[in-house]
Amino acid sequence: MQAAAPSRAGLYGCGRLADLDGAPLRPGGLALTEELIGLAGFRPGDHLADVGCGLGGSTRLLNERGVLAVGVDIDVEARADGGVSALVAADAARLPFADGRLDGVLAECVLSVLTDRSAALAEWARVLRAGGRLALSDVYIRAGAGTARIGTRESLAGAVEAAGLRVERFEDRSDALKRWVAEFIFGYGSLDALSGGRGEMDAALSASRPGYCLIVARKPDAQSEDALHG
């Protein structure tokens, strides 16, 4: 039996989707989340926002590792699973945290569903302390021009840098995207379920070479800035 079609459009409005075991149905699942957490170096005691947390799987994973993570999502009713210590209803570009409050921001499959990518990145940079880290995963275009929401490696990294963050790692994980596409089609019949059945997704995929990446960026501190310009 196929699953019910998700209600939100966009290739990565998938944070609320889960497989039969309850794990997030997104490229790489929680295993890739663990890899991203490791690359970012998040540690027990760090204060972190999981932006676009969906069902809260990554937030719970961080909490289990001693990270003081808050799940943030525009639709708090989307989270039905337990085990998450804190959930906040908020827009990705309007976070309820003071300047420099957080050690980290995690954003999985988020940028490509936002209408204003630059505003969101600037907001994430705002809430990070000096030396804090942004860890994100998302789709990107491996060949050809990007779109309004899905950039190339260069434009995506450039947008992160323009927000005042320094990209330290860019890891291609496109194999995870291929597996995810197969799993989604098996569960929902077609990728077009993600765009309301309007026949857009297969056309978008055939017109480009979509990939999937992990990015870790750091908010510079005064010492690193002095070294850079000294």
Digitized pLDDT (tens) for each residue of the chain, 230 residues in all: 444 444 443 444 455 555 544 455 678 888 999 999 999 999 999 999 999 988 788 999 999 999 999 999 987 654 545 556 688 999 999 999 999 999 999 999 888 888 899 999 999 999 999 999 999 999 888 877 767 678 889 999 999 999 999 999 999 999 888 877 776 666 666 666 554 444 444 555 556 678 899 999 999 986 655 444 44
Distance CA 220, CA 197 (A): 43
Residue 16 is which amino acid? R
What pTM, to 2 d.p., does this model score?
0.81
CATH H superfamily, domain 29-174+212-229: Vaccinia Virus protein VP39 (3.40.50.150)
pLDDT of residue 225: 54
Closest CA to 139 of 46, 198, 201: 201
SS (H, E, C) 30-86: HHHHHHHHHHHCCCCCCEEEEECCCCCHHHHHHHHCCCEEEEEECCHHHCCCCCCCC
pLDDT of residue 20: 47
pLDDT of residue 24: 58
Pairing relationship of beta strands 68-73 and 166-172 according to DSSP bridges: unpaired
pLDDT of residue 203: 52
Sign of the alpha-carbon torsion through 43, 46, 48, 50: positive
pLDDT (tens digit per residue) in 136-187: 999 888 877 767 678 889 999 999 999 999 999 999 999 888 877 776 666 6
Distance CA 29, CA 23 (A): 7
Q: Distances in Å between the alpha carbon of 189 and those of 28, 101, 182, 183?
A: 20, 43, 10, 10
pLDDT of residue 209: 78
pLDDT of residue 5: 42
pLDDT of residue 224: 56
pLDDT (tens digit per residue) in 190-202: 666 554 444 444 5
